[in-house]
Structure 1
Amino acid sequence: GYRCRIQRKGNKNKPLSECQQRRNQRIAKVRARVEHVFGAIAQMGGKLIRTIGQARADFALTMQALAYNVKRFTWLKEAGIEAF
């Protein structure tokens, strides 16, 4: 049930068709949203975890995700955007 989400690339002598450009645009919208989240988490300390044990590493990553969500929520609140 998986679909290939790799974008197509045009060549010098054969540009992308209109259909391929639309497909790339659809893929890029999802990719951009996900990559911005990972970039923000990387700026807040990265994904490197210095703990011993899976439970502590899971907890550390959960706290990073929570910190990102709180930061994002406060930004949305200040911008006047209703989240709920």
Structure 2
Amino acid sequence: MREGLLDKTNTASSVWADTAYRSKANEDFMEKQGFVSKVHRKKPHLKPMPRHIQKSNAGKSVIRSRVEHVFADQKSQTGLFVRTVGITRATMRIGLANIVYNMRRFLFLERISANA
């Protein structure tokens, strides 16, 4: 499935994901395809997380959280379901939800900059 998810024409070469996607096969595939893995590392079983891995995961989480918050907002708006008949209507519904999110985000950022 990973072959269909990773797009070589994308200008970014980094692949960001959580620990569920870290495997030897995925890491080898990304390396062969020229992608840079930014996948979180797992905690060793029954051992404390090494400090350098903890710091690395924290840095990756800062980036990933920005994207995850957008998806969480979309989930809260649609309740994980888009109830329409046909792919065209579903695409429009998702597109409109994206526009609403962007408008709300813009107004939030405008308010922050006006107060500063």
TM-score by length of 2: 0.58
Greater strand share, 1 or 2? 2
> Identity, % of aligned pairs?
30
- Cα distance per residue 1:20-78 (max 9 Å; x no partner): 11221122112221221112222223341111111111111000011000000001111
Aligned residue for 2:65?
Answer: 32
Q: Does 1:7 align with 2:44?
A: no
Aligned partner letter, 1:67: V
The SS at the match of 2:78 is: coil
* Residues 1-84 of structure 1: pairs in structure 2 closer than 5 A: 1-2=34-35, 3=37, 5-12=39-46, 14-80=47-113
4+ residue runs over 3 A deviation: none
8 Å CA contact retained: 1:7, 1:27: no
TM-score by length of 1: 0.76
8 Å CA contact retained: 1:8, 1:24: no
Cα distance in 2 for partners of 1:61, 1:72 equals 16
Q: How many residues align?
A: 80
Cα distance in 2 for partners of 1:4, 1:77 equals 32
Structure 2, unaligned stretches of length 5 or more?
A: 1-33
Task: Tell me how far 1:10 sits from its aligned partner.
Answer: 4.5
